[in-house]
């Protein structure tokens, strides 16, 4: 999942950088296998992230300008927090993880993970299922998160704010 997301993000970024780029050029720049590139382009077209236009000679690709709805905006605000972003990535790869497993995977303290998990549960992005004394967490709509992760690009300001929070909380940077 993480590898697929990274590949799709690379393709998305390349199309964004060169609007109207055609398939062969994309293949050359990204050095990807034709079938693999086709598969990801079709996925992103279906998810309305990019659009393809045939100019007669070539099929050209463009990034779609999409305005985020309220839920997507809420998800995006969580993706801007590096802690939440890494927790969501972990949960996308391995659903039904508990606090301890997430904490080990993302390298944050259990209390910080617990704080972030509560916020994500409150926002309706993940759900908590209790079995005995252990709570397991799962992303409610994995495809929505995956789509937004492709478009998400950390800004310089995000990096500054993350750095500031980490500095004052002495969290492990992730």
Beta strand ranges found along 38-133 (DSSP E):
50-54, 59-63, 97-98, 126-131
User: With CB under 8 A as the contact rule, which of the stretches 3-11, 45-53, 148-156, 161-169 interacts with other proteins?
Assistant: 161-169
Tell me: does residue 68 bind other proteins (CB under 8 A): no
CA dihedral 157, 159, 163, 166 (to 10 degrees): 110
Coil, helix or strand at residue 133: coil
Binding other proteins (rule: CB under 8 A), the pick from 23, 43, 115, 152 is 115
Binding other proteins (rule: CB under 8 A), the pick from 104, 165, 172, 173 is 165
d(CA 52, CA 48): 10
Binding other proteins (rule: CB under 8 A), the pick from 3, 156, 168, 170 is 168
**Of the candidates 59, 51, 53, 75, the residue with the CA atom closest to the CA atom of residue 145:** 75
Binding other proteins (rule: CB under 8 A), the pick from 53, 59, 68, 160 is 160
- CB of 51 closer than 8 Å to CB of 59: no
Binding other proteins (rule: CB under 8 A), the pick from 81, 88, 90, 113 is 81
User: With CB under 8 A as the contact rule, which of the stretches 8-16, 48-56, 62-70, 73-81 interacts with other proteins?
Assistant: 73-81
* Binding residues vs other proteins (CB under 8 A): 77, 80-81, 115, 157, 160-161, 164-165, 168
């Amino acid at each position: 999942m993480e590898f697929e997301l990274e590949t799709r993000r690379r393709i998305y970024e390349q199309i964004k950088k060169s609007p109207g780029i055609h398939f062969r050029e994309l293949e050359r720049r990204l050095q990807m296998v034709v079938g693999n590139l086709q598969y990801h382009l079709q996925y992103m077209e279906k998810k309305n992230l990019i659009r393809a236009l045939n100019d007669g000679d070539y099929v050209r690709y463009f990034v779609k300008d999409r305005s985020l709805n309220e839920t997507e905006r809420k998800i995006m605000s969580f993706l801007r927090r590096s802690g939440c972003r890494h927790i969501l990535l972990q949960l996308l790869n391995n659903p039904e993880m508990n606090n301890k497993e997430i904490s080990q995977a993302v390298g944050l303290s259990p209390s910080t993970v617990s704080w972030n998990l509560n916020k994500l549960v409150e926002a309706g992005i993940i759900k908590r299922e209790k079995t005995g004394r252990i709570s397991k967490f799962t992303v409610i709509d994995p495809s929505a998160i995956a789509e937004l992760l492709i478009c998400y690009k950390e800004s310089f300001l995000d990096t500054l704010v993350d750095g500031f929070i980490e500095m004052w909380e002495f969290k492990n940077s992730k």
